[in-house]
Structure 1
């Protein structure tokens, strides 16, 4: 029997209404969450951020499919404290993990992992942890002891055992992450944190990537020979490529095979790994010995070696991020999974003559951060709003439709990304505490759209002021100079407001003291 058009159309409309109503009654499916945290990965070396040094197609892929944050920063530029901030959504003085020298993370405090777990999520942390305590809030964890090793690393396991796994650490962390994804409870949404060791010192590449950049001559940063005039704290540091970077430990130019054999990074390699490593570095060592370099020539040779090893190590990082994305895509998880990639802080690639991090200066303070959330974040989005690693915890809880605990000091990034009205952050606050390695003085300060005000203490005592519009590389300290009195007064008030907002009592005491 053929229905007339008049009878047929109402039937379709009624059916569609019934299906739509049924869907509306179903609870919204909570998104899965994958957070990938690297170590010391400089935004200057990511092609999505315009790097000319190398290509990072998989990090770029997250940005292309979601958002690239162009003003992402950290609250304390050092690895352990940064992870504690990400996990808790609280500044270092609130979560208790201020430095890598004396801090132990209190796992009894709240975290986004605990909140997600209580909200029905299955949770896991795999890879670098570096918080000197047992992970809590996770259904599964498998973490590197301390900093971990590049080759044949040990893993601390949930049952209390330590397991050594043969292979290259970046590949092995990805293997473990995929293994957990395969065996998870597929009836629950999940949150997986993948903590990569790369690109932490000593920049030891996978054998696959050895020599990847040997034909590249990297341009020397314009301020590589910075004299640190007017910047006392910078003049006191011990983190220069010229004077601090070690020929053996860092650049694999050991004085003898005996010294090389004694190095823990080399002694744990198997025969095949060591053969390939030696086949690559031995000819470089021979050539270097023949050159007999000194002075600037030696410093610039070290810079080229540093860049080649660092970027070769980063190549494996990007490739393994691609593996994780491919897994999600091929297993039907892409459309309902948030992926966030960030480094635990920025890093120096020869700017000011440095490697390492720690400073409130831009290359250290600023971090790469990209995020995809299909159906929520428009592909190809760029954001120039101030965001912090502090915002990760409230963002994922917001996405999971779970309450954001009042003690979390960050703010969800989702309202800005979905076009909803929210309060734009005009000032970002920073506090670095460690007073040991690399001789970087503890300090705190703020960054606004144009200016940066810094208070140094302990190792040296004093103030610094930078006009980032006129001096983006922070070469001239303007504090105390004529004509900047009103600017300094305004910034001082803003700094005090932020200190009071975040209840940083130590900084408040120092603020009242004259430098």
Structure 2
């Protein structure tokens, strides 16, 4: 063997050894490093792709082309379905409880401890660019990891947007999707063969209000979306916090999932957003997507013109899903399929065969490790996602079989914090901060998630199995909902508060109010300011000797009451004919108690002697109409607030009663 061949062989051996030590194959080291173009669309549903055929009229030819020439991920998901947390997870490869963006728009991800793939690639001599919506911390200013930067504050606008480009602020003219696509093309045209690049193109579209480009204003003219199968959901099997919006009845914190006197609230299917998103039609959502698809084609053509197309990994995704009437809901956030599933496509002919369908569970946290793996940059140990490389090489035997979903209460306080597990065929959703039931769905037989099996006796073994898997994932991912200070979100009242508005201090007057099973005092309505449209607090000191009503105001439609049943104190709030009861936990007859009932921030709350006892979600959040009847102490009269539960008053003594307006 001559010396040159010996050195060549030795060098190859050394490279192979070094690559093996780093966990990187020799082929990854020796081949030319690819470019990357990642295109992220806002609120695009997983099924908003023409090639899927759900809507025969939907045209997305350029997205379809990526699918034809690359891979389609059939089961792609986000781990947190709202804009800011999901976007940070795409960048960092970790869950939101790790990178720290747990709500919308309050802060940027922790780029010191969770560097993005762009930061790492920039350190590996990649030319990096960010174009479009950032939507984490406020402001469109530059963030670490990008050589070129163009963005805007928050959601931005569809027409004549205000941009920050490499530190310079200016107002552009035109339609924002077209402008962003043109900026992406310009970035590609400035690149050279001798330096790889990574471009992140993040669209505002198709976030509401759904304003299509003027040229697409008549696209899909005459088409209206059909009513979703699960618009008429089986709401009686849902948790209280969700069911209360769709059925009337009696809801108790001590009996989650057991609803009494249930009446349906019929609702007509309407393919318009009504008061949401400027009354646009659901079809406008798809019209707005048309310019995004055209932009995909322009980026594709720019790469082709530069001779870089097959050397570039193109990845296309949505930042979360979106409801269009499923479960009678809009927006996202919840763990139902329409919210957490996303479109995901990837083209890279050097690795991905044409027309490939990936069945395995793919996540947004997989993007960063995949890009770093294909770039030969190494995957940092802190990243929780996985490279998709094994899925393209048909080496998926050890791929994930489940994943953790998380959501922290955000700008919509009626949707609670939740954590759950999703497998190929099953889903479990748990609400850690509520006294409420879980949700569990057999996705194979119930793909529209209409039949909650969490309370069904025959499925308790499966529920136990899924809870075990959830605990494993919580431990594995380091989930701790108490790690982050969740900024309080309050429903603003329709009127200003005025503190204490009514007081009867019988003890100070020298004698408690003695009750004998009937109302003993009535406070006329003309003493009350309005309770409509805002939070309030009822506070009473009482010693009850028997079950019965301590106080009540209102009637069958709207009102509130404090009462004892089976010796246990409770607070009731009735609104729009539904009754919501926050129950105590233990009997307390014969004891002097301070019972406090509060209605604020979408719940009715019960406190005993100043200590929190229970709460229950309510709907509407505050009285929509004034409780009509007088307030009675010692019982109830007229139309009973607690009709069907009890009508009698207590025997015992009331020492003090107070009513507060807009207690904070």
TM-score category (smaller protein): 0.7 to 0.9
**Displacement of 1:459:** 6.3
Equivalent of residue 188 in structure 1, options 190, 195, 203? 195
Q: 1:203 to 1:236 in 2, by over 3 A?
A: farther
1:211 aligns with 2:215: no
**Displacement of 1:237:** 6.5
1:157 aligns with 2:161: no
- Between the aligned partners of 2:483 and 2:466, the Cα distance in structure 1 is 15
Task: Check whether the contact 1:236–1:439 (CA below 8 A) recurs between aligned residues.
Answer: no
Q: Deviations over 1:472-498 (max 9, x none)?
A: 111121112111121111111111111
Equivalence for 2:136: 131
After superposition, the CA RMSD in angstroms is 2.8
- Between the aligned partners of 1:300 and 1:307, the Cα distance in structure 2 is 6
Equivalence for 1:269: none
Which is bigger in relative contact order (C-alpha 8 A, separation at least 6)?
A: 1
Q: 1:300 to 1:204 in 2, by over 3 A?
A: closer
Q: How many residues align?
A: 435
Task: Check whether the contact 1:154–1:165 (CA below 8 A) recurs between aligned residues.
Answer: yes
- Between the aligned partners of 1:69 and 1:382, the Cα distance in structure 2 is 6
**Displacement of 1:438:** 6.7
1:439 aligns with 2:414: yes
- Between the aligned partners of 2:435 and 2:316, the Cα distance in structure 1 is 35
- Between the aligned partners of 1:167 and 1:65, the Cα distance in structure 2 is 32
**Displacement of 1:422:** 5.3
Q: 1:330 to 1:94 in 2, by over 3 A?
A: same
Task: Check whether the contact 1:441–1:460 (CA below 8 A) recurs between aligned residues.
Answer: no
**Displacement of 1:421:** 5.4
**Displacement of 1:223:** 2.5
Q: 1:69 to 1:421 in 2, by over 3 A?
A: closer
Q: Deviations over 1:316-353 (max 9, x none)?
A: 11111111111112221111000000000111122122
Equivalence for 2:282: 307
TM-score computed with the length of structure 1 as normaliser: 0.79
**Displacement of 1:222:** 2.3
Equivalence for 1:8: none
**Displacement of 1:442:** 1.5
TM-score computed with the length of structure 2 as normaliser: 0.62
Q: Deviations over 1:217-265 (max 9, x none)?
A: 3221122243622213333569xxxxxxxxxxxxxxxxxxxxxxxxxxx
Task: Check whether the contact 1:431–1:444 (CA below 8 A) recurs between aligned residues.
Answer: yes
Equivalence for 1:65: 69
Equivalent of residue 183 in structure 2, options 176, 194, 208? 176
Runs of 4+ in 1 over 4 A off after TM superposition: 295-298, 300-305
- Between the aligned partners of 2:271 and 2:222, the Cα distance in structure 1 is 16
Equivalent of residue 51 in structure 2, options 38, 42, 48? 48
Equivalence for 2:305: 330
Task: Check whether the contact 1:101–1:434 (CA below 8 A) recurs between aligned residues.
Answer: no
Task: Check whether the contact 2:224–2:282 (CA below 8 A) recurs between aligned residues.
Answer: no
SS at match of 2:469: helix
Q: 1:469 to 1:146 in 2, by over 3 A?
A: same
**Displacement of 1:305:** 5.0
**Displacement of 1:418:** 1.9
SS at match of 1:223: helix
Equivalence for 1:98: 102
Equivalent of residue 36 in structure 1, options 32, 39, 43? 39
**Displacement of 1:460:** 6.3
Q: 1:448 to 1:478 in 2, by over 3 A?
A: same
Q: 1:508 to 1:463 in 2, by over 3 A?
A: farther
Structure richer in strand, relative to its length: 2
SS at match of 2:282: helix
Q: 1:106 to 1:130 in 2, by over 3 A?
A: same
**Displacement of 1:402:** 1.4
Q: Deviations over 1:408-443 (max 9, x none)?
A: 000000111123455121011100113332722210
Kindly report which structure 2 residues correspond to 1:387-398, keeping only aligned pairs within 5 A, or say none: 387-398=362-373
Q: Which has the larger radius of gyration?
A: 2
Q: Deviations over 1:18-73 (max 9, x none)?
A: xxx9xx9x942100000000000012221233321512111111111010000000
- Between the aligned partners of 1:361 and 1:99, the Cα distance in structure 2 is 19
Once the two structures are overlaid, the 10-residue window that deviates more, 459-468 or 352-361, is 459-468
Structure richer in helix, relative to its length: 1
- Between the aligned partners of 1:387 and 1:331, the Cα distance in structure 2 is 31
Q: 1:127 to 1:100 in 2, by over 3 A?
A: same
Q: Give unpaired runs (5+ residues) of structure 1.
A: 1-20, 239-294
Q: 1:410 to 1:442 in 2, by over 3 A?
A: same
Q: 1:236 to 1:398 in 2, by over 3 A?
A: farther
- Between the aligned partners of 1:57 and 1:438, the Cα distance in structure 2 is 39
Task: Check whether the contact 1:500–1:508 (CA below 8 A) recurs between aligned residues.
Answer: no
Task: Check whether the contact 1:40–1:346 (CA below 8 A) recurs between aligned residues.
Answer: yes
